[in-house]
Structure formats: structure tokens, C-alpha cells
Amino acid sequence: MPTAIQCTVENMGTMLCGQDIEAFYMSLAHRDLLWIGMNCATGPEFMRDHIRTLSGISRFPTAVIPNAGLPDEDGNYNLDPGNLSKTLNEFGQEGWLNIVGGCCGTNEGHIKQLAEIASNLEPRKLATESSTFVSGLDPFVIEEENRPVLVGERTNVLGSRMFKRLVAESKWEEMSEIGRAQVRGGAQVLDVCLQDPDRDEVYDVVKFLEYLTKKIKVPIMLDSTDSTVIEEALKYTPGKSIINSINLEDGEDRFISVIPLVKKFGAAIIVGCIDEDKKQAQAVTRQRKLEIAERSYNILTKNYDVRPEDIIFDGLVFPIGTGDENYIGAGVETIEGINLFIFTSHK
């Protein structure tokens, strides 16, 4: 069904849920929208900074449909047609608009003048540059300037005995405080993993996210091998999360179960360098890491129409710490594998 989405940004600079205009866009950019924009609010002038930001990043047409100011005690709106159209004409001259209109307090006089100015404006050109971005309540663009991205791993039952104990004791408040402490300590993304075979993972992840999302604004990385868990978790995470992870260990089975969730809810995905090889599923050599990454990339982009910027590769650094003699030299192979990734992508 064709869909257009608009938001109202409050005086504090965010929507009521706490997202700013950039995070709002990131939450919806996976959809094929007719347009995205802003409406209502206190009039067009307050929308200026927000629509400037939105027009710079949106791959969809942008709309601005403001109130004629705020009503007074008698219900009269203070912006006449001339003032409203003057501000929106400025937006159009800046190249920010594709669709323009009037919301509360506007009448045929306002719309007539808007139609007149619109006839003399060039429509905004859609943004075409792509970048890897995720969001919670706050937006986060992953780029050269902010690497390496720091992922907090303490809200993970596989990586923290203390966290696992708190889960067993159902101490949700204390668990969420661990997440907040990691963000205060510099974590830019928070990994959440409740994979305990002795417990109901769906219940645990939903319960925990109900507490955690009230305390943090950073993007969340959902760490689970169960697509049912991922689906329920995505319903409780604001913005655009990261799914950790998928791979080709069982052929395309994992892709088939997870990619529809990416399409429905919006998410970036971490793709592990693992395939069906019975002798060595986890890639150790640099060349095999690259081969699996290229194969995964081609399948995801061509067969499943996943946007390239939403794919994050996991070069499998874990074997370095196992002590297994088979993995001697794995550190060098991982580093050189990453160099191969970069060299190949630049080609």
C-alpha cells in the first residue's frame, strides 16, 4: 500500500517519543515511501533546521505542511497567507521541498498563495549518497571519523557471568543499569544477548528491553540465533537496530528467516564469514574470509535486495583467543583479511 509519513517535532527539538528528525528518518528509510516530511507544529519557522536536515539525507520526496502558527485563546491562528507562504518560499528557494501544503489554521487563502509560490519553485533533488546508519532514539552514522565503533558487550549472558546471574534472578532494573553504565563509559552501540537454553529467551529479551530502552538512546545490537526472538525484540527497539548475526553455515536458511524482518522493521545486519564447508566452516585464511564475504554480499544484494550500506561483515576475530594450535596466525589473517575487504570494496 502506498504510504507517506510525516511527523511533528515539538519545541524541545524532538518528537514526543524523543527522536530527532534524523533518527525519525533512519527508523523509516527501509520503507518505499511516497514521501516523508513534517506537519502541524507551531508554524513553518520552527521547522527550518529540521527540514534542512531531512532534505539533506532523504532518498524520498520531502513534505512540509505546517500550521498557520499557534492559536490564541479564541482559536485564531496568527500567520496570514503572506507570512506562511514567505517562509515556505524560502524553504523552496533553498531546495528543501517536494510537497508543500497547510495544516491547522490554514484556509483557501493560504493554499492559494502556496500554490502560486510552488509554481515558481524547482523541486528538491532526492539525496543519492548512501551511508551506514543506525539509530536508537539518537541517530548514529558509522563513518571514518568515528571509527572504531565501540560496542558494549556486558548486557550479554554469554559474555558476563554477573549479567547472567541477574537474569536468573529477574533483576531487570539492575540489568538495565549495566547497559546505561556502558553507554556512560563510551559505548556507541549496546549488544543485547539473552540466549540461555534454560530460560525463555523471548520473554527475557522483551522484558529486558522494556527496561533498557527507557534508559539509553544509543542503537541496540540484537544478538540471537533465533529469528522469533529477533522479531519480537525489533518490536521493542526504537529506531534502526543491528541484527547479530547471519551467515551461510546452513546455506541460505538464515538469510531466508532473517531478511524478511530486516525488510519489515528496518535493521542493519552483521554477516559472519562462515559457510557450509564441513572441514572448516569458520574462515581462517584471509582469502577464504574474502571469498565468503563476497559470496554473501552478492546473494544479499542481488537475491534479497539488501542495501549494501546495511551489511556489516564480521571477519571472525574470536579464534585468536581460543589457544587452539589450528588458529596460530589467525590474528594476522584477520588483519590482512580486513585489508583485502577494503581493497576489494574500493575497486
User: Can you tell me the distance from the alpha carbon of 205 to that of 147, in angstroms, rounded to the nearest whole number?
Assistant: 28
**What pLDDT shows up at residue 344?**
78
pLDDT digits (tens, 9 = 90+) for 274-302: 999 888 778 889 999 999 999 999 999 99
In terms of domains, do 198 and 159 share one? Answer: yes
In terms of domains, do 318 and 280 share one? Answer: yes
Cβ-based neighbours of 7, under 8 Å, separated by 6 or more: 15, 21, 24, 37, 38, 39
166 belongs to a structural domain? yes
Q: How confident is the model at residue 314 (pLDDT cuts 50, 70, 90)?
A: very high
* Domain CATH for 231: 3.20.20.20
* 72 exposure class (CB count in 10 Å sphere: 0-12, 13-18, 19+): exposed
Query: Which domain-ending residue is among 93, 118, 143?
Result: 118
Please give the average per-residue pLDDT across 161-174, as a whole number: 96
**What pLDDT shows up at residue 100?**
96
pLDDT digits (tens, 9 = 90+) for 84-107: 999 999 999 999 999 999 999 999
User: Can you tell me the distance from the alpha carbon of 225 to that of 244, in angstroms, rounded to the nearest whole number?
Assistant: 8
124 belongs to a structural domain? no
pLDDT digits (tens, 9 = 90+) for 20-54: 999 999 999 999 999 999 999 888 999 999 999 99
pLDDT digits (tens, 9 = 90+) for 121-139: 999 999 998 899 999 999 9
In terms of domains, do 215 and 151 share one? Answer: yes
In terms of domains, do 156 and 14 share one? Answer: no
Q: Would you say residue 61 has pLDDT above 70? A: yes
* Domain CATH for 94: 3.20.20.330
Q: How confident is the model at residue 346 (pLDDT cuts 50, 70, 90)?
A: low
Q: Which three cell numbers stand for residue 57?
A: 539525507
Task: Say if residues 182 and 162 touch (Cβ distance below 8 Å).
Answer: no
**What pLDDT shows up at residue 259?**
97
Cα 191 to the chain's mean position, in Å?
Answer: 14
Query: Which domain-ending residue is among 65, 95, 118?
Result: 118
pLDDT digits (tens, 9 = 90+) for 238-285: 999 999 999 999 999 999 999 999 999 999 999 999 999 888 778 889
* 342 exposure class (CB count in 10 Å sphere: 0-12, 13-18, 19+): exposed
**What pLDDT shows up at residue 306?**
97
Task: Say if residues 25 and 36 touch (Cβ distance below 8 Å).
Answer: yes
> Cβ atoms within 10 A of the Cβ of 24, count?
24
**What pLDDT shows up at residue 312?**
95
In terms of domains, do 155 and 39 share one? Answer: no
In terms of domains, do 171 and 292 share one? Answer: yes
One-letter amino acid at 156 equals N
In terms of domains, do 165 and 312 share one? Answer: yes
127 belongs to a structural domain? no
What HEC string does the chain produce? Answer: CCCEEEECCCCCCCCCCCCCHHHHHHHHCCCCCCEEEEEECCCCHHHHHHHHHHHHHCCCCEEEEECCCCECCCCCECCCHHHHHHHHHHHHHCCCCCEECCCCCCCHHHHHHHHHHHCCCCCCCCCCCCCEEEECCCEEEECHHHCCCCEECCCECCCCHHHHHHHHCCCHHHHHHHHHHHHHCCCCEEEEECCCCCCCHHHHHHHHHHHHCCCCCCCEEEECCCHHHHHHHHCCCCCCEEEEEECCCCCCHHHHHHHHHHHHHCEEEEEECECCCCCCCECCCHHHHHHHHHHHHHHHHHHCCCCHHHEEEECCCHHHHCCCHHHCCHHHHHHHHHHHHHHHHHC
User: Can you tell me the distance from the alpha carbon of 206 to that of 218, in angstroms, rounded to the nearest whole number?
Assistant: 17
In terms of domains, do 199 and 74 share one? Answer: no
Residue that is written with C-alpha cell 522483551 in the block = 206
Q: Would you say residue 337 has pLDDT above 80? A: yes
126 belongs to a structural domain? no
User: Can you tell me the distance from the alpha carbon of 135 to that of 189, in angstroms, rounded to the nearest whole number?
Assistant: 9
In terms of domains, do 259 and 161 share one? Answer: yes
Query: Which domain-ending residue is among 91, 118, 145?
Result: 118
> Cβ atoms within 10 A of the Cβ of 299, count?
16
- Smallest CA-to-CA distance from 337 within 272, 277, 275 is with 272
Q: Which three cell numbers stand for residue 303?
A: 537475491
**What pLDDT shows up at residue 319?**
67
Structural domain boundaries enclosing 88: 4-118
Report the mean per-residue pLDDT for the chain. 93
Structural domains counted in the chain: 2
In terms of domains, do 214 and 310 share one? Answer: yes
CA distances from 232 to 22, 227, 265 (A): 25, 9, 11
Which range (140-144, 191-195, 218-222, 260-264) has the least confidence?
A: 140-144
123 belongs to a structural domain? no
User: Can you tell me the distance from the alpha carbon of 145 to that of 142, in angstroms, rounded to the nearest whole number?
Assistant: 8
Buried b / exposed e over 321-334, threshold 16 CB at 10 Å, is eeeeeebeebeebb
In terms of domains, do 46 and 179 share one? Answer: no
Whole-model pTM?
A: 0.91
In terms of domains, do 197 and 74 share one? Answer: no
Please give the average per-residue pLDDT across 46-65, as a whole number: 96
